[in-house]
């Protein structure tokens, strides 16, 4: 992937120069897409605001970075500017580009931007939309969900862990399943590359808490101990 840098009046952006001849700053703005023939489609889940955008030749996911928890109630989408490289959007874009080039099942990064205002900045990321894919969380009450999905989820996580990839928010909303049953991992905000360590087990436990939370909030969903055991067995193979 050819990562191309472009300075802006109040920030900068990165984009995949091997796929795009040029990226326009307005393509990160909702007003731009609302004026296009294909209206944007709002997605749900996660801390950021994700909107599906595109045309006849492409389909992208645009995410505006937002804070979670208590800080998010005060600062919303504002982050302290400590230089270009540590910006959330640039870090995630570069990590995704590396993982994509390694052949790991992640969405292809398209472009990233930050806009600075004094000591703070706001940020956006555009990735390729994974066709005909749904989050694992939306399939937990589906008759389509068979035993194989748990084994495949364990194998998916193992692939990333073997590559030293620590996902900062591994949960059932960030694991995507397409119509062919292939699995992908999304949302690498604050993700890192690490040496072997206890973070792998912490990653798995974070996913388990996510599944338990979904089960607890939805009486029709029951992720059993047998399901979790299948996931762990496949992870350990």
Q: Which of 169, 187, 212, 227 is catalytic?
A: 169
Overall pTM surpassing 0.85 (yes/no): yes
Return mean pLDDT, the chain. Answer: 91
Q: What tens digit of pLDDT does each residue of 96-127 get?
A: 999 999 999 999 999 999 999 999 999 999 99
Q: Which residue has the tokens 């109630």?
A: 73
| For range 198-203, the mean pLDDT | 97
Contact predicate 183/177, CB 8 Å = yes
Q: What tens digit of pLDDT does each residue of 13-35 get?
A: 999 999 888 899 999 998 899 88
C-alpha dihedral sign at 171, 172, 173, 178:
positive
Confidence check: pLDDT of 49 > 80: no
Rounded Cα distance between 71 and 78, Å, is 10
- Other beta carbons within 10 Å of 79: 20
Confidence check: pLDDT of 45 > 60: no
- Which residues make beta-bridge pairs with 127? 61, 109
Confidence check: pLDDT of 48 > 60: no
The torsion region of residue 69 among left (phi > 0), alpha (psi -120 to 50) and beta comes to: left
Closest CA to 168 of 223, 229, 95: 95
Rounded Cα distance between 79 and 120, Å, is 5
Half-sphere exposure of 20 (CA within 13 A, CB side): 21
**Could you tell me the end-to-end alpha-carbon distance of the chain, in angstroms, rounded to an integer?**
32
Q: Across the chain, which distance is largest between two alpha carbons, in Å?
A: 55
| For range 188-214, the mean pLDDT | 96
45: Cβ contacts below 8 Å, ≥ 6 apart: 135, 137, 173
Closest CA to 11 of 87, 75, 109: 87
Residue 143, pLDDT score: 65
Asked about 141 being catalytic, the answer comes back as no
Confidence check: pLDDT of 73 > 50: no
Residue 43, pLDDT score: 74
Chain centroid to CA 199: how far?
19
Q: What tens digit of pLDDT does each residue of 144-180 get?
A: 677 899 999 999 999 999 999 999 999 999 999 999 9
């Amino acid at each position: 992937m050819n990562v191309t840098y472009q300075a802006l009046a109040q920030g900068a952006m990165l984009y995949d120069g091997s796929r795009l001849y040029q990226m326009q700053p307005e393509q990160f703005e909702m007003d731009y897409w609302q004026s296009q023939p294909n209206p944007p489609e709002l997605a749900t889940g996660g801390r950021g605001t994700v909107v599906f955008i595109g045309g006849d030749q492409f389909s992208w996911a645009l995410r505006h970075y937002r804070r979670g928890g208590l800080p998010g109630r005060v600062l919303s989408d504002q982050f302290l500017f400590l230089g270009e490289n540590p910006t959330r959007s640039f870090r995630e874009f570069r990590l995704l580009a590396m993982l994509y080039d390694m052949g790991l099942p992640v969405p292809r990064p398209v472009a990233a931007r930050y806009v600075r205002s004094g000591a703070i900045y706001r940020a956006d990321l555009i990735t390729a939309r994974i066709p005909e894919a749904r989050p694992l969380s939306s399939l937990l009450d589906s008759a389509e969900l068979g035993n194989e999905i748990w084994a495949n989820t364990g194998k998916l996580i193992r692939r990333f862990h073997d590559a030293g990839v620590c996902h900062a928010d591994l949960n059932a909303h960030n694991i995507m399943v397409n119509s062919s049953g292939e699995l992908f991992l999304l949302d690498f905000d604050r993700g890192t590359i690490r040496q072997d360590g206890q973070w792998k087990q912490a990653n798995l436990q974070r996913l388990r808490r996510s599944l338990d939370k979904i089960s607890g909030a939805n009486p029709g969903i029951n992720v059993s101990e047998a399901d979790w055991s299948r996931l762990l067995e496949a992870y350990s193979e």
